[in-house]
Amino acid sequence: MLDRSRIEALRTADVPPMGHVIDGRMTPASDGGTMDVLSPLDGRVLTTVAAGTAQDAEHAIRSARAAFDDGRWSGLAPAARKKIMLKWADLVEENALELAVLGVRDNGTEIGMALKAEPLSAAGTIRYYAEALDKIYGEIAPTDPSVLGLVHREPVGVVGAIVPWNFPLMIGAWKFAPALAAGNSVVLKPAETASLTLLRIAELAVEAGVPPGVFNVVTGAGAVVGEAIGMSMDVDVLVFTGSGGVGRRLLEYSARSNLKRVYLELGGKSPNIVFADAPDLMEAVKVSANGIFRNSGQVCVAGSRLLVERSVHDAFVEALANYARDMKVGDPLDPATQAGAVNSQRQLEQNLTFVEEARAAGREVVTGGGRILEETGGYYMAPTIVTGVSPEDRLARDEVFGPVLAVIPFDTEDEAVAIANGTDYGLAAAVWTADLSRAHRMVRAVKAGVVHVNTYGGADATVPLGGVKQSGNGHDKSLHAFDKYLDLKTAWIKL
């Protein structure tokens, strides 16, 4: 049960100006520049953060390199790293409500989701990789008995991480936790519109005993700080979650610098496929609505394309529209709220543009479609369902990243597969059916990194998350995440 009185106290608490966290200390921008943090709850300035420069990024990278090279973290016994990371996870958990409210004030996620998906998820992720780090072994090759072939796993060095604004702690932890557990140093750049909780968690890392320089957070514009990290000759691996356009630039930076490995998660246009024989159509309605409208649709794996078998299409859409109209959209710090604020004015305008284009093309906006609660000064949008969408429409092909659902009917399984695979993306998908054989066929046929069956979302840290096609490469979560942050070294020893 959420403590409403504590939430209200944290809602009005002053948030002091924040600098970077470099070498274990809060540090201002090298030129003294700051950026206003606008809260999506009311559009007002919440605080300021450092407007990082390329020099700030280079400072953090030098600090990370020095920390890696002198072994203050990479040279620790695995049990020692584990102890510190477990203490860090405990601190994050102890400060979970403070972190959740700070994050809500910064990016607008409803508090019920934010608490679980942000600090509690981050604490769990840190704990998962802390527990795993001393269970990653090298190998002995089955070679000639006169030779000993050993395969060592070694940390790569300095990891640059650039993370988005929708779930900064959760997605950030997916990247920094395995990187640090493996013995690397990290330089992390948050999104300009969601930096506060990552700065705070970096302070908690220092408190837990993570040595200075091992985990650095540098705020600022992507075109400045992100480019400096991407172009650095001293960053060994770069991991990113965000847009395809930025992902392409990061690959260019790698080619123009030291050919650093770049791992990208670039979003999706995930199909949620409902067959007439779904075991519980009303459950499918509820889960499908939450799969697109929670966090105002600002979820990488959001089921933003709903494919419904034609025989149940009209009844399903009617039930879905009724459910969406009943959802409580508004103050993200009210525990009763089911969908909070859109992150920024810019994102809200982008969402509305998609809807207006659909209207102009003759598509039907069944419910929603506009800005609401404008009198608050915040950025709120009603859950929106658009029917009659063609698979060729921009609304069916491009990622909106808002509470806008495109509904497309289908008649056959093969047609559903063709529509599902008819985009450049391949991050997530879902299939609702009572036919076990069909479920297995669809899991194989749909091109996506994650395919849910009779559910949507909720996959935990034990399984990987990654995309195919233009949704990216590499995997977050699970033990497979270590693959990005460990090098293989062969020792070939003549006996």
Does the CA dihedral 171-173-175-176 come out positive or negative?
Answer: positive
**Are 484 and 427 in a shared domain?**
no
Beta strand 147-155 with 305-309 is unpaired
Which phi and psi angles does 339 have, rounded to 5°? -145, 125
Same domain, 248 and 397: no
Is the pLDDT at 326 greater than 80? The verdict is yes
Residue 465 in domain: no
Q: Give the containing element (helix H, strand E) for 57.
A: helix 54-69
- Mean pLDDT within 311-339: 98
**Contact assessment for residue 64 and residue 185, using Cβ atoms and an 8 Å cutoff:** yes
Query: Which amino acid would we find at residue 305?
Result: R
Residue 278's CATH number: 3.40.309.10
192 occurs within a structural domain: yes
Q: Assess if residue 121 is contained within a domain.
A: yes
Q: What is the mean pLDDT of residues 181-202?
A: 98
Q: Quick one: 189 and 290 in the same domain? A: no
Catalytic residue among 118, 192, 265, 309: 265
Same domain, 76 and 210: yes
Q: Do 261 and 315 belong to one domain?
A: no
Task: Please state at what angle helix 96-107 crosses helix 168-181, rounded to 10 degrees.
Answer: 130
The encoded tokens of residue 276 equal 């007439």
Please state, in angstroms and rounded to a whole number, the distance separating the CA atoms of residues 35 and 45.
10
Could you tell me which residues come within 8 angstroms of residue 252 by beta carbon, excluding any fewer than 6 positions away? none
Residues 117 and 163 in one domain: yes
Q: What are the tokens at 258?
A: 């030291």
Is 14 among the domain residues? yes
- pLDDT exceeds cutoff 90 at 1: no
Contacts of 201 (CB under 8 A, 6+ apart): 92, 99, 122, 169, 172
Query: Distance between CA atoms of 296 and 242, rounded to whole angstroms?
Result: 17
Average pLDDT over residues 447-475: 96
Sorting pLDDT into bands at 50, 70 and 90, what band is 230?
very high
Give domain status of residue 185, yes or no: yes
**Is there a domain that residue 467 lies in?**
no
Residue 458 has pLDDT above 90, yes or no: no
Longest distance between any two alpha carbons in the chain, whole Å? 79
Task: Print the domain residue range for 334.
Answer: 271-460
- For residue 139, indicate whether it is catalytic: no
Cβ-based neighbour number of residue 489 at 10 Å: 11
| pLDDT tens, position by position, 424-435 | 999 999 999 999
The predicted model gives 268-289 an average pLDDT of 98
Any domain includes 146: yes
Give the chain's domain count. Answer: 2
- Answer whether residue 392 is part of any domain: yes
Q: What is the mean pLDDT of residues 232-255?
A: 98
What 3-state class would DSSP assign to 401? coil
User: Do 256 and 387 belong to one domain?
Assistant: no
